[in-house]
Amino acid sequence: MHEEALLRDLVRKVNEVSASYAGKPVRRIELWVGALSHVTAQQLKDRWPTAAAGTAAEHARVEVSTSTDLDDPRAQAVVLRSVDLEDG
């Protein structure tokens, strides 16, 4: 399914960020969803815990901004905007 492949890729990217900081746990991620992306913010939030289970990102809070601009050049994309790691 398209959503699972998308989530696997996002989890991989988020865990790469964590690994580059000695595997610090991920506290929060921020995503941007284009108007034509064919995935909703709620789908991403609902499926994140399963997709990230057993990784540094499994307890991350997922925040999603959704665009309504059909003419945006990224309208079909889901963009990882930020990854916040635990302090310490």
Q: What is residue 4's predicted lDDT score, i.e. its pLDDT?
A: 87
Whichever domain contains 24, its CATH number is 3.30.2320.50
In angstroms, the CA 75 to CA 70 distance is 6
Please write the tens of the pLDDT for every residue from 47-56: 999 999 999 9
pLDDT of residue 88: 62
Q: Count up the domains in the chain and report the number.
A: 1
Q: Which mean pLDDT values do the consecutive 10-residue runs of the chain (88 residues) have?
A: 86 97 96 96 95 96 97 97 92
| pTM of full prediction above 0.85 | yes
| Helix, strand, coil % over all residues of the chain, rounded to 5 | 35, 25, 40
- The predicted pLDDT at position 1 comes to 52
User: Residue 68's domain spans which residues?
Assistant: 2-85
